[in-house]
Structure 1
Amino acid sequence: MSITAQLCDSVKLPGGGALVNGFALESRDGSCRALLRNGHELEVYDLRELLANERAPKAVFPLPWPGWGHGVHSVSPDGTFAVFSGQRSVRAVDTSGETLWEYRHDCWGPEVGHPHTGDEQEVCRGLEHGSCRVSDDGRLVWAHVVAEPVPGDWQERWVVLDAHDGRELGWLPLDSAASGSNHLSHPDGVHMGLSIGMGQDGILLYWARWDGEELTGWDVNEGLDRILTDVHAAHSGFLTVEHYGADVRLHALDGTVIAEREPEPAGDEDDDADDEDDDEAYWDYGCGFVDADTVIASTADSDGCPQRARHWLLDAHTLRVRGVITYPTGPVDGDVRPLGDGTWLTYDDRSETLNRWAQAAAPGAR
């Protein structure tokens, strides 16, 4: 079944691809903010206003380490401070760039025990990094960091900090060797998810909660290799995609699989039926809740044929395929980012355009 998309908003936005295929989109309580790096600054926009071509940011934060281009950062719900995930610390700053607090940790650089010059702006070799997230009530900061309690004893940790002063409230050891990570807040305001990418060694996925006194965490790995993609306020669980795109799954919060769906082939009539690669499809990493009842997911049959990528709508409770999306502007071959409010984003790299879409109303519908 073909489902027609309707274009809601469109804006030319160089660098806007990070909102779709990166970690520059921060969602809280049904609203979304764009966190876009511009030179030596992090600019914060209301997504709706940005799509309406309002180019004045809500807040601007000077980067504490202009030469450090990695890490996933976060901004407080009220927009008064940002927390940056650095190579050797997590730092909270206000809009003037003044440091509010700093939580020091060991270096993400891959050479164990390598020396530093003492210059805080020094960036050590390697692309490895952590991430941080301000809780939705603005009281906590969750951060993925690295520690070396004794020389040669490398350990990654998940720490919870007081957002007011950076004081460590608790931490959990992680069995990971990260290339990078990202956090995902559960809309219940209690639980936090952490997805850790380890390159060719796969993915690790954790959930945790802080009850005010104790940090409790659990992993949902059990030999699995899954990417945490999304969660919705109407669902107690979460969505994952298998590392190599074999399936999409809906999980309960303890990791129990509620539903799963393997990818559908594109099935174009003009394709060469004798080319067995044409029948191979896999889910991309762009997958999430369009709304409480609908999931969007994307497939690509091969990296060499991006024009054959497809976006699919699935039932959010069973992951049954509802249909493939047809765009009025022609094929959309990029990633997709759902917003949870009935719409989703795509980004056209050629025109540097960010688009927001919704499912078109059926003919005759009011």
Structure 2
Amino acid sequence: MSITAQPHGSVKLPGGAALVNGFAFEGRGNAPCRALLRNGDELEVYDLDEVFAGERAPTAVFPLPWPGWDRGVHSVSPDATFAVFSGQRAVRAVGPGGEPLWEYRHGCWGPELDHAHTGDEQEVCPGIEHGSCRVSDGGRLVWAHVVLGPEEDWQECWVVLDARDGRELARLPLDSAASGSHHLSHPDGLHMGLCIGMGQDGVLLHWARWDGEELTCWDLDEASDRILMDVHPGHAGFLTVEHYGADLTLHALDGTVLAEGVPEPSDEEDPPCWDYGCGFVDADTVIASTVESDEDPDRALHWMLDARTLRVRDAVVYPTGRVRGYARPLGDGTWLTYDGGSGALSRWTEATPRA
């Protein structure tokens, strides 16, 4: 028996596709879910609960320090008083008016070694490589994935910065050659996850915590080549998807495998595999999509899984017809989808069964 989705509102937001197809979503423990969306030369911050309640104005707006730079994963402080941008050659914190608060300089993510720069800070070098940053849930730290300069052999590092002045507090050298990365904070407010994508060379996954004196880090060898997707809202583990979609896995924080889930068998010649869109709808339920959305949209489906065992419950049926693309769960019992044709961002919940 299929699972029926119930509409929970639909809105149009500039750049809203990045909420479902990218890393524009920022959840912080029990705080309302936020959207960080680029609109022209500005980063707009929206409270998603307010947006679906009818409020269309952003809660904060930050001018982009490098308008020509359209990569990197950025972050906003919990109180939305400052934003931190992951640039091509620096991590920079700015206030609402765009005034620089501090800057942490690093090497260039451009792929050509020793390439010259014009001296113009707005220059964007060729290449798609980028890092990412994340303000801690307490607002006191900034975690950033950066590449160091030629004097340090272009090594990539994970750094912990003081959010007040950008001072480096700790550094972890990384054995990576990133095409991109993203951070994910743990709901306990202490731990931070870093997922580094290296294209055909696979994926690296790290967790760490900073106690004010010591940086404790561990890489998850047993979770290698797995993409970090979400953390259980009740701290019961984190969710990854295998690089090529073979399975979903629930891990304890130390990487121990707690459960694995595979797609439902299909009558088609090619077996189904998971797409990159998945996560916790709530403490009991995971939503995931199958990968056919790119090659055959009519075969793409969203599935509900048990959050403890990752056993597939059933496919999701939408009253508006088949919904293509990813599903972005919010952890509060709802999830988002995006319609590229209409530009509509829709919110859904599982329909309550009739007695």
TM, length-normalised to structure 2: 0.97
1:236 is displaced (CA, Å) by: 3.5
- Report the CA distance between 1:36 and its aligned residue: 0.8
Counterparts of 1:155 and 1:210, CA distance in 2: 21
Q: Deviations over 1:88-125 (max 9, x none)?
A: 00000001111000001011111111111111111111
Equivalent residue in structure 2 for 1:324, among 315, 331, 342? 315
Output the CA distance in 1 between the equivalents of 2:272 and 2:192.
31
Cα distance change on mapping 1:111 and 1:68 into 2, 3 Å: same
Q: Deviations over 1:188-209 (max 9, x none)?
A: 0110000111111111111010
Give the SS at the match of 2:26. Answer: strand
Q: Alpha-carbon deviation of 1:310?
A: 0.9
Matched letter for residue 48 of structure 1: D
After TM superposition, the score normalised by the length of structure 1 is 0.94
SS in 2 for 1:356: strand
Deviation at 1:60, TM superposition (A): 0.7
Q: Which moved more, 1:28-37 or 1:153-162?
A: 28-37
Query: Contact between 2:187 and 2:231, CA under 8 Å: does it hold in 1?
Result: yes
Contact kept? 1:72, 1:84, Cα under 8 Å: yes
State the distance in 2 between where 1:203 and 1:257 align. 17
288, 295, 301: which one pairs with 1:304?
295
Whole-angstrom distance in 2 between the partners of 1:12 and 1:146 = 36
The percentage of counterpart residues that share the same residue type is 75
Verify the 8 A CA contact 1:11 1:52 in the aligned structure 2: no
Look up the match of 2:12. Answer: 12
| 8 Å CA contact retained: 2:136, 2:143 | yes
Within-5 A mapping of 1:178-257: 178-222=178-222, 224-257=224-257
**Cα displacement string for residues 112-152 of structure 1 (whole angstroms, at most 9, x for unaligned residues):** 1111111111111111100000000000000000013527x
Residue 258 of structure 1 corresponds to 258
Q: What is residue 94 of structure 1 aligned with on the other side?
A: 95
- Kindly indicate whether the alpha-carbon contact (under 8 Å) linking 2:7 and 2:347 is maintained by their aligned counterparts in 1: yes
- Structure 1 residue aligned with 2:132: 131
Tell me, yes or no, if the aligned pair for 1:308 and 1:333 is still in contact at 8 Å: no
Report the counterpart of residue 158 of structure 2 in structure 1.
Answer: 158
**Which consecutive segments of 4 or more residues in structure 1 shift more than 4 A?**
none
Instruction: Tell me the CA shift for residue 154 of structure 1.
Output: 1.9
Give the counterpart letter for 1:245 in structure 2: G
Deviates further, 222-231 or 182-191: 222-231
Distance 1:207 1:224 in 2: 13
1: CA distance, partners of 2:316 / 2:273: 16
Distance 2:294 2:23 in 1: 22
Cα offset, 1:222, TM superposition: 4.3
| More divergent stretch after superposition (45-54 vs 289-298) | 45-54
Aligned pairs for 1:269-288 (under 5 A) are: 276-277=269-270, 280-288=271-279
Tell whether the 8 Å contact from 1:307 to 1:332 is kept in structure 2 after alignment: no
Which amino acid in the other structure matches residue 319 of structure 1?
L
CA contact (8 A) 1:14 1:353 kept: no
CA separation of 1:289 and 1:302: change in aligned 2, threshold 3 A? closer
CA distance, structure 1, for counterparts of residue 340 and residue 56 of structure 2: 20
Instruction: State the distance in 1 between where 2:312 and 2:206 align.
Output: 28
Q: Secondary structure at the match of 1:281?
A: coil
Offset, 1:48: 1.3
Query: Match of 1:111?
Result: 112
Aligned-partner Cα distance in 1 for 2:319–2:113: 53
Shift in Å at residue 323 of structure 1? 1.2
Q: Secondary structure at the match of 1:115?
A: coil
Q: How many residues were matched structurally?
A: 354
- How far did residue 14 of structure 1 move? 4.0
CA contact (8 A) 1:249 1:260 kept: yes
Q: Name the CA distance, whole Å, in 1 between partners of 2:60 and 2:289.
A: 33
Spell out the pairing of 1:11-160 with structure 2 (5 A cutoff). 11-30=11-30, 31-148=32-149, 150=151, 153-160=153-160
Specify the code of the residue in structure 1 equivalent to 2:13: L
CA contact (8 A) 1:21 1:335 kept: yes
2:233, 2:282 within 8 Å by CA — same for their partners in 1?
no
**CA shift in 2, pair 1:243/1:64, >3 Å:** same
- Identify the range of structure 1 (69-78 vs 224-233) with the bigger mean alpha-carbon deviation: 224-233
1:351 to 315, 337, 342: 342
Distance in 2 (alpha carbons) for counterparts of 1:303 and 1:290: 23
Alpha carbons of structure 1 residues 80 and 14: separation in structure 2 relative to 1, 3 Å: closer
Query: Counterpart of 1:270?
Result: none
Secondary structure of the residue aligned to 1:276 is: coil
Find the residue that maps to 2:33 and give its secondary structure: strand
State the distance in 2 between where 1:302 and 1:287 align. Answer: 14
Change (3 A) 1:63 1:301: closer
The answer as to whether partners of 2:145 and 2:157 remain within 8 angstroms in 1 is: yes
Q: Residue 27 of structure 2 aligns to a residue in which SS?
A: strand
Residue ranges of structure 2 left out of the alignment (5+ in a row): none
| Secondary structure in structure 1 of the residue aligned to 2:120 | coil
Question: Tell me, what secondary structure is at the counterpart of 2:221?
Answer: coil
5+ residue gaps, structure 1: 268-272
Aligned equivalents of 2:68 and 2:57: distance in 1?
Answer: 25
More deviation, 86-95/292-301: 292-301
